[in-house]
A and B are shown apart, each in its own frame.
Chain A
Amino acid sequence: MANTGWDEFEIGAMLRTFEGEAGDIAATLQEDRKYTENSSFSASVADWRIEKPIFAKDYCIDCQFCWIYCPDISIISRDKKMIGIDMDHCKGCGICVEVCPTNPKSLLMFPELADEETEIAQWPAKEKKEK
């Protein structure tokens, strides 16, 4: 839309989220929605990140703390299971790692350019409780 002229958009600077009828949106998962190019879902903030979370599924207990406390709707949970991270919308804040209760954590922060497979292969071991 970057070069849109004054006569090319809808009046009132109004924006629509969906193409056509929305339907029962509260019961429609993101992958099944028809977003317009104006929904920020269609945009990416991946370039904000300096560090990124990597998810090691083997340790995850699907407690969903990361899902509820993620400010960026970037924890993808389906059927009560955490299945991955939306890397277009994750800003790399690190909250998910902080709230992850497993030992070792199922989510850890790494430099943006780190390789996921490599990092998962060398995931830290279970920490011994001190005291």
Chain B
Amino acid sequence: MSEMKKIKNLKEFSTSADRFEGANLLCPGCAHSIIVREVLNATNDDLVLAASTGCLEVCTAVYPYTSWDASWIHIGFENGSTAVAGAEAMYKALKTKGRLKQPDRNPKFVAFGGDGASYDIGFQWISGCMERNHDMMYVVLDNEVYANTGGQRSSSTPIGSSATTTPAGSISYGETRNKKDMMGIMAAHNIPYAAQVAPNKWKDMVKKIQKGFATEGAVFINAVSPCTTEWKFDPKDTMHLTDLATDSLVFPLYEVIDGHELNITYRPKEKDIVPVEEYLAAQGRFKHLFKDQYKYLIKEWQERVDANWAYLNRREEARV
């Protein structure tokens, strides 16, 4: 086992030497990059990385440039998880056979994918990797939309969001289905560790990533990634939007250990909880919900968030 990197506070964290580079092509204010940095900087160990097709991939490896300082592979839209699983299998084989070039290293295997690549097209591949319990981490950069292809709905797109394939219109409020509970599904694989994270709560996030790295076996991370382009907010407000997501409890932060032990890791004080309406109002994708005929949806949103929070609390309490 390698030693866990000591990150007491932000000052100490800021001494990290980033292994992800600038002059990538991600939009100004993109949260993907912030998430990637927090993941990579959580360890000093060597990394073997993969990305499924999506914003992160097309913006960080456009020939003749790469933004990656560790080995990285992209195959297709659906198989970032399996690419890393294959590399991890090779690592094990070469370790057994004594053929590793640097046998003293302790590499971490990490795959990134957007919600399209993870909730939809790559769902089966991720499920396979989790079920087989590869020693790897899968990180979803969850911006609730196919952002790379211009804003189509995914199964992570929440009700009422106007996406290009579920556009709001005179007789439509946009997406009609609720967001898929990916955390629940992944935890149901009884993997050793699953966690929902947000980059604004960096300490919570880094702690979970480190926990994931220290875990032997498959780790699933769902990271909220506010998308300035598709959620329609000013690039400077990315962290504000992330705060609204976590503090409204639309995006609760919790972990599930071994498929059953659920811990809520961020519990805003009652007075600090932001109404869901405020979260929705900050984004252009929900603008139409503030018309009189759709206001009931905002109320329903709040009820859903409250119910989910109550459910998570009950799960935590039950310790099952």
In the bound complex, do residue A64 and residue B61 qualify as a contact, i.e. CB atoms below 8 Å apart?
no
The answer to the question of B68 belonging to the interface, with a C-beta cut-off of 8 Å to chain A, is yes
Complex interface residues of chain A between 1 and 44 (CB less than 8 A to chain B): 1, 9, 13, 15, 17-18, 22, 24-30, 33, 37-44
| Residue in B closest to A99 when the chains form the complex, CB atoms | B239
Chain A residues with CB under 8 Å of B16's CB are 26
Q: How far is the CA of A48 from the CA of B202 in the complex (A)?
A: 28
| Residue in B closest to A80 when the chains form the complex, CB atoms | B11
In the bound complex, do residue A73 and residue B22 qualify as a contact, i.e. CB atoms below 8 Å apart?
yes
Chain A nearest CB, measured from B184 CB (Å): 29
With beta carbons under 8 angstroms apart, the residue of B10, B67, B239 that contacts A64 is: B10
The answer to the question of A111 belonging to the interface, with a C-beta cut-off of 8 Å to chain B, is no
The answer to the question of B96 belonging to the interface, with a C-beta cut-off of 8 Å to chain A, is no
Interface bin, chain A: 35 or more
Q: How far is the CA of A14 from the CA of B11 in the complex (A)?
A: 36
Total residues of chain B contacting the partner, CB 8 A: 51
Interface string of B183-227 (1 = CB under 8 A from A): 000000000000000011010000000000000000000000000
In the bound complex, do residue A92 and residue B28 qualify as a contact, i.e. CB atoms below 8 Å apart?
yes
Chain A residues with CB under 8 Å of B12's CB are 80
| Residue in B closest to A48 when the chains form the complex, CB atoms | B28
Chain A residues with CB under 8 Å of B11's CB are 62-64, 80
Chain B residues with CB under 8 Å of A64's CB are 10-11, 13-14
Q: How far is the CA of A62 from the CA of B12 in the complex (A)?
A: 11
The answer to the question of B69 belonging to the interface, with a C-beta cut-off of 8 Å to chain A, is yes
Q: How far is the CA of A63 from the CA of B26 in the complex (A)?
A: 26
The answer to the question of B261 belonging to the interface, with a C-beta cut-off of 8 Å to chain A, is no
Chain A residues with CB under 8 Å of B30's CB are 71
In the bound complex, do residue A71 and residue B33 qualify as a contact, i.e. CB atoms below 8 Å apart?
yes
**A98 and B239 in contact, given A25-B70, A44-B23 (Cβ under 8 angstroms):** yes
Complex interface residues of chain B between 225 and 283 (CB less than 8 A to chain A): 228, 234-240
With beta carbons under 8 angstroms apart, the residue of B23, B29, B199, B237 that contacts A43 is: B23
Complex interface residues of chain B between 1 and 33 (CB less than 8 A to chain A): 10-26, 28-33
A-B contact pairs, 21 of them (CB 8 A): A15-B65, A17-B69, A18-B69, A25-B17, A25-B69, A38-B64, A39-B67, A40-B23, A41-B22, A41-B67, A64-B10, A68-B37, A69-B200, A71-B28, A71-B29, A80-B14, A91-B28, A93-B228, A98-B236, A98-B240, A99-B239
B residues with CB within 8 A of A? 10-26, 28-34, 37-38, 43-46, 60-61, 63-70, 199-200, 202, 228, 234-240
A residues with CB within 8 A of B? 1, 9, 13, 15, 17-18, 22, 24-30, 33, 37-45, 48, 62-65, 67-74, 77-80, 82, 86, 88-95, 97-99, 109
